[in-house]
Amino acid sequence: MRLQAKSYKLKAKAPLESVVAHNGNKSQARERGALSSLTGLTPLESVVAHNGNKSQARERGALSSLTGFTLIEVLLAMGIFGLLFGLGVPSVYRMYRGFVFSSEVQKFADALRTAEARSFTNQFGKSHGIFIQSDSFFVFQGGSFVSRDVQYDETYARADGISVSGPQEIVFSQFSGAPSLSGVWIFSNEAVSSTLSLNSQGALSW
């Protein structure tokens, strides 16, 4: 009888523990349910959302640091470019003006040589010469610019900002190519000047 009573007590204890455990599980379930009802998400969704928020925060932090670094690079590059531009433009402009000036002197020398060569070879049986105007050089055919044959005029446009002083008209003799006079021409702009000379034999120097 004692063994049976003891066995009965052990068996009677198990249902009580089950009830307590069951009540504990129900309490936890109610707590999770209350939390889910407050957030509007299931427990699994709440965990996923929490992890997603942490991932987004990390991405925003990385993007912020990347954006700041890129902005610094852009500003630095712009500063360097501005410095180089400020230093380079005046130098390039001076080089360009020097090139235009040299080309203008060379152009006039070429015109003189053209007139001299045509006279020396007696082209069309005429003398040839050069005439200077404010906007151009003329290589003409004839004994003078006034009496020339205009259909044979050859025009060389002059560059702006470069002045020329010296004889306005030179005529070269047939066969000999000797100039009607020797002369000196001075080319100048705001920065530089150059002198071109023609001697009595028709030799050029500058």
* Residue span of the structural domain in which 193 resides: 102-205
| Percent of the chain clearing pLDDT 70 (strictly above) | 67
Give the integer Cα–Cα distance in Å for 131 and 155: 10
In a domain, 164, yes or no: yes
In a domain, 15, yes or no: no
In a domain, 95, yes or no: no
CATH number at residue 183: 3.55.40.10
In a domain, 119, yes or no: yes
| pLDDT recorded at residue 170 | 97
In a domain, 52, yes or no: no
Query: Per this entry, what is the length of the chain?
Result: 206
Give the integer Cα–Cα distance in Å for 160 and 189: 9
Give the integer Cα–Cα distance in Å for 205 and 118: 20
Residue pair 112/204 in contact (Cβ under 8 Å)? The answer is: yes
Dihedrals phi, psi of 170, to nearest 5 degrees:
-135, 135
Burial class (CB in 10 A: 0-12, 13-18, 19+), 182: middle
Which own/partner contact pairs does 153-157 have at CB distance under 8 Å and 24+ positions apart? Answer: 154/111, 154/114, 156/107, 156/108, 156/110, 156/111
In a domain, 85, yes or no: no
Total domains, the chain: 1
pLDDT (tens digit, 9 = 90+) per residue, 126-169?
Answer: 999 999 999 999 999 999 999 999 999 999 999 999 999 999 99
